Structure 1
Amino acid sequence: MSWKITVLAPRDVVQAALIAHEDVFDWDGDIVIAGSEIAEDRPDDWQLEAWFDRKPTAADRAAIAALFVDGMPKPVVEKLPETDWVTLSQAGVEPIREGPFHVHTPDYAPLEEPGVRDFVIPASLAFGTGQHATTAGCLAMLAHMKAQGVIVRSLADIGTGTGLLAFAGLYLWPHARALASDIDAVCGPVMALNADTNHVPLGDGPGKLAMVIAAGTDHPLIRASAPFDLLIANILAGPLVELAPDFADSVVPGGSVLLSGLLTTQEPAVRAAYARAGLRLAARLTRGDWSVLWLRRRSHGRIRASAVGKLPEWSRRW
């Protein structure tokens, strides 16, 4: 990306713009946007950033401005060095610990502690190094599910990015059949390289991971492999709502769906969509402004929801 537009605004204003972005069906896929705190000690001061591979046109600026209902604050438009913004933003990030997992870039050494699974995830074009609160929260929830006695013989990670959550699932349930997919073709070689680096066997069978490029569950291998005991989707609230019926049909009765990528303000809409599809909340946790939800498909028994209060809070904010 060679150009960027930055808009400084209060947190609620930026979050509202991000939600508005999800409702734009004809959004230009070449414009990548994100919202974040300006600094950890200023939690209410946020920025919305939009990256372009071209100089922003008047139409591009209008598209960003339209996300702000009460008018967009004055934007800052700048040309960036010719580099990959995702890699740059993730380079040199500190390792994290979540449950039994230690996730780090190649710049850091593994912990090599008993009971700790090290994952080396280089900064890359694919989302999911573990540094984002949603990815880290999913790692924590997976560990909680394992501790609660959840049995997984088959799992799918939809929107896998780097493959990290699928790798984590296979570590916790090493005899499961696993499948990882993403809509973005760039994730294919990234997932394969990360699997090789982390000694995750690829293929179709117990203890192995198959990888496909697909939108949602729209792939012959996903359909043939379903229903799963566990489906993971760390994407965005809009697609989560839209895919609720498909995800519900893709898990066994009593099976689990792990969702993230949604703001806490978006949680009611997401939970309502999955309730209509026959899933009920088993547990939830929040990391800053983000929610992580463990849902289960109805079987003959009743599911009792709980908060995962003992899980450590995410100490860094995106």
Structure 2
Amino acid sequence: MSAKRRGDEPKGDGVTGFPFDASRTGSWKISLPCSKAEAERISEGDLPEIDALDPQPTLMTSEPDPDQPEAWQLDAYVEDEPSKALIAIIAALAPSTKKKPVVTHIPEDDWVTMSQAGLEPIRAGRFFVHTPHNADAAPKGMTGFVIDAGRAFGTGHHETTTGCLEMLDRLRVAGRRFDDIVDVGTGTGLLAFAARALWPAAKVIASDIDPVSIEVTAENAEVNGVPMGRGRGQVELGVAPGLSDRRLRDRAPYDLLIANILAGPLIELAPVFADAVLPGGTVVLAGLLDTQADAVANAYRREGLYLTDSILRGDWRILRMAKRRR
């Protein structure tokens, strides 16, 4: 994905915004400190001041020092040199800080290096995920995926993605079997690829609101030898918010639905997701802060689902819920 729109997976420690391809154009970055509360508001995505912008910047929040849990940082990425008005809008997202925003230019040649730098391979359950710049072979007994960060955030290093990989692995270890799987807000395609690896006889479809994300997913599928198509053992791709595409609706009901987006859209889509899952089916929800977990879980309880498992990764909670059998 090229940093995704709000409503999809958070990147970095939390990212929201419209996509841009910095590997092609270079970019500009606006950086300033922010509080944890401000970072949480940004991650929740209810930002009318940003919605009014065209194009929208990509916002990333991160926790630079775990020993200072209240001290976070906001980075805003834009394609063109930012105006004073845009800098002021970004600064207003973090009213707690007294420091002026720092504006830096990221040349085209530096972007891929920056995006790949420091991204060590990750292990999550049986999965080993790395970038092309760190092409270590997967250890024996692990399933490896190469995910290029050059055009995208979302290589698997964010706690929500790592937690989802661990949750999927738990399901497989528990002996669960799935035949029809959907990955909503797929980003780079990693979770769809992982689901296919765990249940190779299943039919998998992956969607994202961002067309660039689907382009990147197709590229990643080719790199990782994941076959595309509608048959068993294949992954089909589609561009859609939620499950609005006809192909996604036609393939329902699913026995496994994965949605790594954000708390607001997860709550809003609870009735749609619940209707799209078979009785007894499983829903994996991510992209929500631990402080938002109760609200998200309650929205799905109202639709006839119940909580069966959860994973906490940093400040982020991954929920596994099951639909009650009739």
Category of TM-score, reference length = shorter chain: 0.7 to 0.9
Q: 1:37 aligns with which of 24, 48, 63?
A: 63
Whether the 8 Å contact between 2:30 and 2:104 is mirrored in structure 1 is: no
Q: Distance in 2 between matches of 1:126 and 1:62?
A: 26
- 1:269 paired to 2:292: no
Structure 2 gap ranges (5+) = 1-21
* CA deviation profile, 1:177-235 (whole Å, cap 9, x unmatched): 00011111112221112111111111111111101111111111101111111111111
Equivalence for 2:243: 217
* Secondary structure of 2:51's aligned partner: coil
Whether the 8 Å contact between 1:256 and 1:295 is mirrored in structure 2 is: yes
* Secondary structure of 2:129's aligned partner: strand
Q: Distance in 1 between matches of 2:59 and 2:302?
A: 30
Q: Distance in 2 between matches of 1:85 and 1:154?
A: 38
CA shift, 1:76, in A, is 1.6
RMSD (Å) for aligned C-alpha atoms: 2.2
- What one-letter code is carried by the residue in structure 2 that aligns with 1:80? H
* CA deviation profile, 1:211-262 (whole Å, cap 9, x unmatched): 1111111111101111111111111112111111111111111111111111
CA shift, 1:147, in A, is 1.9
Q: 2:168 aligns with which of 132, 142, 155?
A: 142
- What one-letter code is carried by the residue in structure 2 that aligns with 1:206? R
- What one-letter code is carried by the residue in structure 1 that aligns with 2:51? D
Between 1:98-107 and 1:81-90, the stretch displaced more is: 81-90
- 1:3 paired to 2:28: yes
Q: 1:249 aligns with which of 269, 275, 280?
A: 275
**Percent of aligned pairs with the same amino acid:** 47
Whether the 8 Å contact between 1:94 and 1:104 is mirrored in structure 2 is: yes
- 1:164 paired to 2:168: no
Q: 1:192 aligns with which of 202, 218, 222?
A: 218
Q: Distance in 2 between matches of 1:23 and 1:257?
A: 27
CA shift, 1:65, in A, is 4.3
Whether the 8 Å contact between 2:38 and 2:93 is mirrored in structure 1 is: no
Equivalence for 1:18: 43
Question: How many pairs align?
Answer: 297
Relative to structure 1, is the Cα distance of residues 200 and 79 closer, same or farther in structure 2, using a 3 angstrom cutoff?
Answer: same
* Secondary structure of 1:186's aligned partner: helix
Q: Distance in 1 between matches of 2:150 and 2:281?
A: 32
CA shift, 1:102, in A, is 0.7
- 1:284 paired to 2:310: yes
CA shift, 1:60, in A, is 2.5
CA shift, 1:99, in A, is 1.1
Whether the 8 Å contact between 2:87 and 2:101 is mirrored in structure 1 is: no
- TM-score, structure 2 as length reference: 0.84
- TM-score, structure 1 as length reference: 0.86
Whether the 8 Å contact between 2:145 and 2:224 is mirrored in structure 1 is: yes
Q: Distance in 2 between matches of 1:205 and 1:31?
A: 38
**Stretches of 4+ aligned residues off by more than 6 angstroms:** none
Structure 1 gap ranges (5+) = 301-318
Between 1:86-95 and 1:237-246, the stretch displaced more is: 86-95
Query: Any residues of structure 2 matched to 1:97-176 within 5 Å, and which?
Result: 97-106=123-132, 107-113=134-140, 115-176=141-202
* CA deviation profile, 1:141-184 (whole Å, cap 9, x unmatched): 00111222322001011111111100100111110000011111
Relative to structure 1, is the Cα distance of residues 254 and 292 closer, same or farther in structure 2, using a 3 angstrom cutoff?
Answer: same
Whether the 8 Å contact between 1:87 and 1:123 is mirrored in structure 2 is: no
* CA deviation profile, 1:257-281 (whole Å, cap 9, x unmatched): 1111111112122112212222211
Relative to structure 1, is the Cα distance of residues 81 and 13 closer, same or farther in structure 2, using a 3 angstrom cutoff?
Answer: closer
- What one-letter code is carried by the residue in structure 2 that aligns with 1:126? A
Relative to structure 1, is the Cα distance of residues 273 and 207 closer, same or farther in structure 2, using a 3 angstrom cutoff?
Answer: same
Whether the 8 Å contact between 1:180 and 1:212 is mirrored in structure 2 is: yes
Whether the 8 Å contact between 1:7 and 1:73 is mirrored in structure 2 is: no
Q: 1:63 aligns with which of 89, 97, 103?
A: 89
* Secondary structure of 1:223's aligned partner: helix
